[in-house]
Structure 1
Amino acid sequence: MAKLYYRYGTMNSGKSIDILKIANNYEEQGKKVLIFTSAIDDRHGVGKITSRVGIQRDALLLDETVYDKVLAEKPDCVVIDEGQFASSEIIDQLAAIVDEQDIPVIVYGLMTDFQGDMFEGSKRLLELADRIEEIKTICWYCKSKARFNTRFKDGKAVFTGEQIEIGGNDKYLPLCRKCYMREKLASQA
């Protein structure tokens, strides 16, 4: 029986390399996998999944036609990158792929933005996913588990601005709650 999986983690937790590994494993066994990503993250080109270790792969763009695309291709598995950027409607379609087509769907993404607020896609995934798994990494400053994607500008943490601002280690660092709160207090001083 297929399931809807939501695997979340902070930036730099290895989500993209997990996606590339899953796709490779399916394809090595002669099985078909469809990979989707958001058009919003264009750091390495639109429709690209790129790991920080340098591995890259083309992906289909995730949009409101995802159900139809999957129905036409009949894959053995669907893997989604940047699930936090998906609308609730798209997440509902992913659940329908699982329920109606019996195809497993594995969604990777961030849980919260730089202010600690949940993304629309993440919220809907928490409501619908059959299995929710955290991909862990450590705080940039200490040895604790990172929980926050902290936005930086000119070397200082910032806590205001648009919810979505695409960037990697040049703009965001994973921090634990203690270090995040320390940075937040320092920004208010």
Structure 2
Amino acid sequence: MAKLYFYYASMNAGKSTTLLQADFNYRERGMRTMLFTAAIDDRSGPGAIGSRIGLEAEATPFDSATDLRALVEREQRAGPVACVLIDEAQFLTEEQVDQLAGLCDECDVPVLAYGLRTDFRGQLFPGSARLLAIADALIEIKSVCTCGRKAIMNLRVDTAGRPVAEGAQTEIGGNERYVALCRRHFTAALAGTAPLSQGSCTTC
């Protein structure tokens, strides 16, 4: 039976790279895949998944109104879909996560979802919370804080590199807006006891 997988990590841990490698593995064996990415994140261009090491692939953009299951079932009428891969899975709605689970359970199509677990305040994204609740497999992709510990938190910084503690949950950005830190240094940065300079953890 097909499974729903949730690969989660902090910022800049290589989630998109891992997704694109998985997609390549399927396609190399002549299998058709479907790739989705959040429409709100257009850093690699509209409808594109890009990684920091230069890999890129076209994808179908989704927003909160997209019926993912319907799109996959429509594509299946043209031929079997071996796997569905979701980038920026934290932006899924709870209903969309349930749609993906339905694809696994009722259509026997495996789904690989890649995304952040928590936001810049350390709070779960709704899509990630639902994935953590119902996914068949939870796989952590590890990243490293500059102190050498595992990075599990995503610190948002302003244009001067100062920690940001308030604001909208969703704000698209890369290294210039987010720093992956261990919990200790995330907490210290927000408390003002570990000043940051463009992503450097000065107390590490």
Q: Deviations over 1:7-30 (max 9, x none)?
A: 100011110001110111000000
**Counterparts of 1:119 and 1:155, CA distance in 2:** 24
What is residue 200 of structure 2 aligned with on the other side? none
Secondary structure of the 1:126 match is helix
Q: Quick one: which of 93, 97, 102 aligns to 2:103?
A: 97
Are 2:171 and 1:165 aligned? yes
Q: Which runs of 5+ in 2 are unaligned?
A: 196-204
Q: Give runs of ≥4 in structure 1 deviating > 6 Å.
A: none
- The alignment's TM-score, normalised by the length of structure 2, stands at 0.89
Q: Please give the per-residue CA displacement for 1:95-120, whole angstroms capped at 9, x wherever unaligned.
A: 00001100100100000000000001
Quote the Cα distance in structure 1 between the aligned partners of 2:140 and 2:55.
22
Aligned-CA RMSD value: 1.5
Alpha-carbon shift at residue 65 of structure 1 (Å): 1.9
The answer for the alignment partner of 2:150 in structure 1 is: 145
Mapping 1:124-135, distance limit 5 Å: 124-135=130-141
1:62 positional shift: 2.5
- In the alignment, the residues of structure 2 paired with residue 81 and residue 55 of structure 1 have an alpha-carbon distance, to the nearest angstrom, of 14
Answer yes or no: is 1:114 the counterpart of 2:116: no
Aligned residue pairs: how many?
188
Which amino acid in the other structure matches residue 35 of structure 2? I
Matched, 1:156 2:162: yes
The alpha-carbon deviation at position 55 of structure 1 amounts to 1.4
Distance 1:86 1:112 in 2: 13
> Is residue 58 from structure 1 mapped to residue 52 from structure 2 by the alignment?
no
| Structure-1-length-normalised TM-score | 0.96
Partner SS, residue 54 of structure 2: coil
State whether structure 2 residue 33 is matched by structure 1 residue 33.
yes
Give me the identity figure in percent: 47
Which of residues 64, 77, 82 in structure 1 aligns to 2:83? 77
In 2, Cα distance between equivalents of 1:180 and 1:66: 35
Q: Could you tell me how far apart the structure 1 residues matched to 2:37 and 2:176 are?
A: 21
The residue type equivalent to 1:101 in the other structure is C
Measured after TM superposition, the shift of residue 69 of structure 1 is 1.2
**Secondary structure of 1:41's aligned partner:** coil
Alignment of 1:7-18 (within 5 A): 7-18=7-18
Q: CA deviation at 1:162?
A: 0.8
CA–CA distance in 2 between the matches of 1:24 and 1:157? 37
2:19 aligned partner: 19
SS at match of 2:84: strand
Q: For residues 67 and 123 of structure 1, what CA distance do their matches in structure 2 show?
A: 19
CA separation in 2, counterparts of 1:95 and 1:62? 17
Inter-partner Cα distance in structure 1 for 2:151 and 2:178: 12
